[in-house]
Amino acid sequence: MGRVFAEPFLLINYKSYLEATGRRALELSLKIEGVARETGVKVGIAPQFCDIERITSNVSLPVFSQHVDPVAPGAYTGHVLAECVKEAGATGTIINHSERMLRLHDIERALEEARQVDLTTVACAGTARLAAAITLSEPDMVAIEPPELIGSGRAVSRERPEIVSDSVRKIRSVNSNVKILCGAGISNGEDVYAALKLGAEGVLVASGVVKAPKPEEVMMDLCQAIRRYSMNAI
């Protein structure tokens, strides 16, 4: 899949944090873009639905929706249509985040709707086994995020490294191409470095960046860890 690249990927999830809403979402995005440009690291951002258009008009980072609904165009008031997300300029979408879980059947349908408009998909799961299960529906990326560590400040890659390595093994046993991300509790460069060493090919970060007093400094720390890892990996 052309859309999925070789380098490590850093996806910043804005959730519904006030620090990343509206005007502040745009300011945060510009800071993140600055660091991404300076370090050359591949970074994506996932703002709220109503902020997507404002950000894609002003920032050149790849933008992900936080969710799309498993519906085709039609009489669906209050739903998030993949087509609409796409037209607002997003290039991808998260699906089945632990704060917006879907029924198994709907995960498959949401992935299909996203694919039809060529959105890159990041499907989330909370355990290694479910990460493998969700991979069978062929998202572009799969993210393992143990719910109990989300927002905890304790990084999955250092607190529970076996979850990451077990996920990588289970996912690879059913699919050799999907890009594997991990997340939950990641807030500094060492957390990121540890994740990549365990076989993850990218990380999801939320409060670690969004709620930091100086998000650009945290971003710099995360991105330098990715560069350090990439150089050692050669």
Q: Give me the active site residues, please.
A: 97, 145
Can you tell me which of 3, 4, 17, 31 binds its own copies, judged by CB under 8 A? Answer: 17
- Tell me if 225 sits within 8 A of 189, measured CB to CB: yes
C-alpha distance across the termini of the chain, in Å? 23
Residue 212 within binding range of its own copies, rule CB under 8 A: no
Range 115-174, binding its own copies (CB under 8 A)? 125-127, 129-130, 132-134, 136-137, 150-151, 170, 174
What's the CA gap between 220 and 37, in Å, rounded? 11
Residue 213 within binding range of its own copies, rule CB under 8 A: no
- In three-state secondary structure terms, 153 is coil
Can you tell me which of 88, 156, 182, 222 binds its own copies, judged by CB under 8 A? Answer: 88
What's the CA gap between 166 and 30, in Å, rounded? 36
Can you tell me which of 8, 9, 11, 21 binds its own copies, judged by CB under 8 A? Answer: 21
Can you tell me which of 3, 30, 39, 48 binds its own copies, judged by CB under 8 A? Answer: 48
- In three-state secondary structure terms, 12 is strand
Residue 34 within binding range of its own copies, rule CB under 8 A: no
Strand order in the sheet with 202-205: 42-46, 9-13, 202-205, 179-183, 141-144, 120-125, 92-95, 64-65
Residue 84 within binding range of its own copies, rule CB under 8 A: yes
What's the CA gap between 85 and 41, in Å, rounded? 25
Shorter beta-carbon distance to its own copies: residue 32 or 143: 143
Applying CB under 8 A, which residues contact its own copies? Answer: 13, 15-18, 21-23, 46, 48-54, 65-67, 71, 73-81, 83-88, 90, 94, 96-108, 125-127, 129-130, 132-134, 136-137, 150-151, 170, 174, 206-207
